[in-house]
Chains A and B, each alone.
Chain A
Amino acid sequence: EIVLTQSPATLSLSPGDRATLSCRASQSVRSSLAWYQQKPGQAPRLLIYDASNRAAGIPARFSGSGSGTDFTLTINSLEPEDFAVYYCHQRYSWPLPFGPGTKVEIK
């Protein structure tokens, strides 16, 4: 069973900063990895699929990279609405776990 870990657990940044979030899989998931954003009281929203492709309607400041076991979500120039929790999620093999999340908070 594949296990996902995310780092850091919390990222304290200011609007305009760049955020770099990491997700590591316990074994290769090739490029079958997604990133989700979740705000309080809301369902998660798909940001990135296949490790590096932006979902429909997602701003260009969000970008994903990586393959195999190491993945990165980068948010360039944080906007106030970007402060949220971000989860990675592998779709390579069942079961399909999510990572524990990274909270991006305002510094």
Chain B
Amino acid sequence: DVQLVESGGGLVQPGGSLRLSCAASGFAFNNYWMTWVRQAPGKVVEWVANIKGDGSAEYYVESVKGRFTISRDNAQKSLYLQMDSLRVEDTAVYYCVRDTYYGSGSYYGDYWGQGTLVTVSS
């Protein structure tokens, strides 16, 4: 069975850093784009960043560019999100998502982890 388990969330002060991890199992990790999606409490879902299977391409939402870095270790079947210069507005549950190619030219997030909560507060 496909499993995605996030870890690394917690309370951090504004301006601080945090590194999220996602442990993947049950599928050929290196063959899939992977994505981080976040959701602030009571708010809408926001796509944050994604990375190609071999790590050769990555994309970010404008609000995190230059502050967040997505990466992966295919040998360890792990996805990461390094978050620096954190802001109060980065407070959210962060989900690790597997993107699957459905043969039409587009990828869609078909498996999601349970999420890890990041709270940025002084």
A-B contact number at CB 8 A: 63
The SS class assigned to the A binding surface is loop
Stretch at the interface among A11-19, A47-55, A74-82: A47-55
User: A97 to chain B: closest CB distance in Å?
Assistant: 6
Interface size on B (CB < 8 Å)? 23
CA distance A32 to B109 in the complex (A): 12
CA distance A41 to B37 in the complex (A): 15
Give chain A interface residues in 91-106, CB to chain B under 8 Å: 91-92, 94-101
Hey, which chain B residues are within 8 Å of A99, CB to CB?
Answer: 44
- With both beta carbons as reference points, the residue of chain A lying nearest to B105 in the complex is identified as A32
Per-residue contact bits, chain A 61-91, to B (CB 8 Å; 1 contact, 0 not)? 0000000000000000000000000010101
Asked if A43 is an interface residue, CB under 8 A from chain B, the answer is: yes
Chain B interface (Cβ < 8 Å from any Cβ of A): 37, 44-47, 50, 59-62, 95, 102, 104-110, 112-115
